Structure 1
């Protein structure tokens, strides 16, 4: 083999390796993540859970695929999703991650409120407006609003909750001019623009997606450290850990995992990727897994006859992987508390 042929073959080999293993494509793979112990991540009045039991939140890992790693989607409990389906209106994965962090912040607040509510202890929710998560290119505010901006007032009017915020806008007319009081990087600025028609609802709107900005004040003080984990699905497990430190230390050495959003009133909501979270919890040796027992509407079933509740999917996954975990259906934080009390 002459030197020129060797160089060509080497270049082809290097290029092939790069294209297969290193070139990222607009595609993501989701797979079982981890079950993270939260005993030392939740503090009530400076104290953490020192009991023998372990409480774990569960995650789904998402990574951008290469041509080779995209084949992982065919492995059990792996799935692929296109970049446009995952990111939606967001420009890149960094913006998507910011959204997930805002969701986590909100879920931490509702977890505190749900735990104090169930413990019949007082707490204060301070509504601070909404965070801007994305701005439609059709919005008249497209050039002026940025992701992460906080809208505290509209037309100098403040609100007690996000529903009031949305209702105020919906009761205006397309083309009306509104002035937003926006906080950005510690500074306040007023931004004015005309409302546009939101095609999905038929109502006037600013042309943004948003999440609630609020804070919960409690006594004793609660501090929750989610680390770099995002999304709203840790709400149930955080609220259980707070309640456990507030009211009672369930007398057990259980390793408890679970998932589910939590509302202020303690209701538990559906989440995505529960099959992958069951696999993650089983790998970490959890003995109990709390799964949202959500109700599937007849309309949703008509559109997707194969749709199942989180609990049904979790139960089927545990059986398929021969897990010894007890899959426990929960619709309210009280359901989880009642179950844990059976081990006293």
Structure 2
């Protein structure tokens, strides 16, 4: 009888262990990721940066929570539990990954544009069309267009920006059929469907969320290949790595420099998420300088969240918490980065 109960106990124990390790919970864990040397990803004129020191992009590790990892996260000072809805909204896992891929490519294009313009080198921005970010459930194009497709024409008309595209559609009628030419997995396709009334308005639309899809061509070849890293937050560091190679590599001076922040084509740095975790990753990698977006805190920010702190403030607090000697440098633009490193 005792053997029987021991077997039952063993089976139960194994089941508990398996559930604890493998049972997925409806949460994700964000923890400090890695600080990756940018010379692994960036080549300019066919060459990687081999000079002493390094520029580093920083990441946040993301994993779906399991019972054991969820409990473990409660003991970690820089682990954060987030719901799937807070992380992805109503997007599927596949849609979320596609969006992150787009944001990364857009970030790279902006970095190339800013770096080449600041360095006085030739570049040309090519407009490819409208990138489909999402589709409403009510859209008649759902099932025809897909996340990641690029719309190149409507009724045979080409446009040079998303606003021009939207202006054309607004002049049509709800229920009117339009023919859309688009690129899906590198194949050109067309579909004709009626326009729908957009939620909260009386205006017609395709029922898609859209952004401009562009590509940058340069006389001096540049390549940025990031593998499975997604999102826009490495824009500032991509810009710095490209610019320094274009201008002779005189800014780093042997230092290990990390940072984060989005980059738009005007050179403005934008705020990102998880900056405290990125500070930890940079410190572990031996960085001595960390660039942090110094985004303005508006009245609207404080009204929405009285405890809101901007990226720079959070980064400084994280560095203090881990007793890091890294210099946390506030930046609002790429010019701020260059000015600081030239000191």
TM over 0.5: yes
Q: Is the 1:42–1:223 Cα contact (8 Å) retained in structure 2?
A: yes
Q: Alpha-carbon deviations, 1:207-264, whole Å to 9, x = none?
A: 2233432110011011112121110111110111111011132251111000111111
Q: Offset of 1:317 from its aligned partner?
A: 1.3
Matched, 1:307 2:311: no
Q: Is the 2:39–2:50 Cα contact (8 Å) retained in structure 1?
A: yes
Cα distance in 2, alignment partners of residues 327 and 293 from structure 1: 11
Q: Is the 2:259–2:290 Cα contact (8 Å) retained in structure 1?
A: yes
Q: Is the 1:250–1:340 Cα contact (8 Å) retained in structure 2?
A: no
Partner of 2:287: 286
Matches within 5 A, 1:249-328: 249-250=249-250, 252-328=253-329
Q: Any unmatched runs of 5+ in structure 2? A: none
Cα distance in 1, alignment partners of residues 312 and 85 from structure 2: 28
Q: Offset of 1:205 from its aligned partner?
A: 2.6
SS in 2 for 1:39: helix
Matches within 5 A, 1:9-28: 9-28=9-28
Cα distance in 2, alignment partners of residues 293 and 174 from structure 1: 44
The TM-score, its normalising length taken from structure 1, stands at 0.93
Cα distance in 2, alignment partners of residues 157 and 172 from structure 1: 14
Partner of 1:77: 78
Partner of 1:204: 204
Q: Is the 1:20–1:68 Cα contact (8 Å) retained in structure 2?
A: yes
Moved over 6 A (4+): none
Matched, 1:235 2:245: no
SS in 2 for 1:244: helix
SS in 1 for 2:228: coil
Q: Alpha-carbon deviations, 1:85-123, whole Å to 9, x = none?
A: 22223222x332222111111111111001011112221
Q: Alpha-carbon deviations, 1:136-192, whole Å to 9, x = none?
A: 212111122222222111222212123323343345443333221111133222112
Q: Alpha-carbon deviations, 1:299-338, whole Å to 9, x = none?
A: 2221212112111111111112111111111111111011
Partner of 1:151: 151
Question: Structure 1 residues 167 and 282, CA, compared in 2 at 3 Å: closer, same or farther?
Answer: farther
Partner of 2:125: 125
Cα distance in 2, alignment partners of residues 300 and 196 from structure 1: 34
Matched residues, number: 341
Cα distance in 2, alignment partners of residues 181 and 321 from structure 1: 53
